[in-house]
Amino acid sequence: MKSVRAWTLQALPVIAVALMAPSIVAAQAAYPSRPVTLVVPFPPGGSSDVIGRAIAPKLAEQLGQPVIIENRPGAGTAIAAGYVARSAPDGYTLLIGSGSMLTLNPAVRKDLPYDSTKSFEQIGMLSRAGMILVASNDSPFKTVADVQAAAKKASGQLPYGSFGAGTASHFTAEMAWLAMDTKLLHVPYKGSSPMLVDLMGGQVPLAMDTVVTARPLISSGKIRAIAVASPRRLAILPNVPTFAEAGFPNVVLESWGSIMAPRGLPKPVHAKLEKALNVIMADPGVVRILAEQGVEAVVGPASQVDALLAKEIPAMRAVAARAQITAD
């Protein structure tokens, strides 16, 4: 009798799991059964917000449930990232991630409320946009060689603008100066708009910016394009050379975006989201909306983002250390 009782007690956990398994599978198969929230780490109206609002209705179509945009700006994307990192890994809270959030912040900030690889799992690639070195029309600079020669003569006193300390703008510029074996004087701004105003006015001769914000001023002839930090020339600026063409193949840093979730998603949920995202990013309407922002829509699996993280996290830490980059 004792042996029967002992066997029964030992078997109870197994029986319980077996009884629960069908309901767990059913719940995952029914995903999503309620609205999904897509967190955007920037305020309404910006490029990331426009992208989020472009893909949200398409994601809703694929999932069969509403997708709600929730803007959580602040602290260099850390507020949104920390919020999502603490959320349940059930597929109902997603985040627009970025290279600045996942690879640049860890290089310059020690108190982040998330870990770029441990806190999240990637769903897939979303977008890619180039960084570009631009010059004031009042400056003599037309090529990378011009900038390099002037910087060497100026002995660290030639100023350039970025849209903030520790941002992609700052990192890309310092990568370029390190590659050229030069040093320029960093002038950090609070965003692209004031930086570009000063660039047009000649208060600062050079600036590193995203193609998204600089392109309208380049197209209208108000500022001069020098080089893009992309692996190849951009279709939207076909006449602008890459840094590689100027002899600096390692000056490559693009502003990229992804969709991610708290780590620990059930595999069927992850698979459903990744499949939906692949369909969405190939949608001609989505591609057009992103192109209007100067952004390239990217169809790429989670493994592609993971590879970017594995490459860029140590690389950006090395750049930050060599160039002594710190955040605001």
CATH of the domain at 46: 3.40.190.150
Tally of domains within the chain: 2
- For residues 238 and 293, membership in a common domain is answered with no
How crowded is the C-beta side of 248, counted as CA atoms within 13 Å?
A: 26
Q: Is residue 1 part of a domain?
A: no
Q: Is residue 23 part of a domain?
A: no
Q: Is residue 28 part of a domain?
A: no
- For residues 139 and 277, membership in a common domain is answered with no
pLDDT at res. 328 = 67
Q: Is residue 13 part of a domain?
A: no
Say which residues have a Cβ less than 8 Å from residue 155's Cβ, sequence separation at least 6: 183
Among 246, 276, 291, the domain-final residue is 246
What residue has token string 């390692």?
A: 250
Mean pLDDT by 10 residues, the chain (328 residues): 50 49 52 97 83 95 97 91 98 96 94 96 94 97 98 95 92 96 94 93 96 92 97 92 96 94 98 97 93 88 95 94 87
Q: Is residue 187 part of a domain?
A: yes
DSSP for 108-173, written as a single string: H-S--SS-TTTSEEEEEEEEEE-EEEEEETTS---SHHHHHHHHHHHTT--EEEESSTTSHHHHHH
Q: Which domain CATH number covers 230?
A: 3.40.190.10
The two tokens of residue 272 are 């459903």
Q: Is the pTM of this model over 0.85?
A: no
Range of the domain at 181: 131-246
Dihedral sign computed on CA atoms, order 176, 178, 181, 185:
positive
State the greatest distance between any 2 C-alpha atoms of the chain, in Å, as a whole number. Answer: 96
SS3 18: helix
- For residues 136 and 230, membership in a common domain is answered with yes
Q: What is the DSSP letter of 241?
A: P
- For residues 96 and 155, membership in a common domain is answered with no
Among 191, 221, 246, the domain-final residue is 246
- For residues 203 and 232, membership in a common domain is answered with yes
Among 227, 246, 265, the domain-final residue is 246
- Contact by Cβ (8 Å): 59, 36: yes
Cα separation, 124 vs 43, whole angstroms: 23
Neighbours of 156 (CB within 10 A): 12
- For residues 234 and 275, membership in a common domain is answered with no
- For residues 70 and 135, membership in a common domain is answered with no
Cα separation, 133 vs 148, whole angstroms: 12
- For residues 115 and 259, membership in a common domain is answered with yes
pLDDT at res. 15 = 52
pLDDT at res. 20 = 44
Q: Is residue 14 part of a domain?
A: no
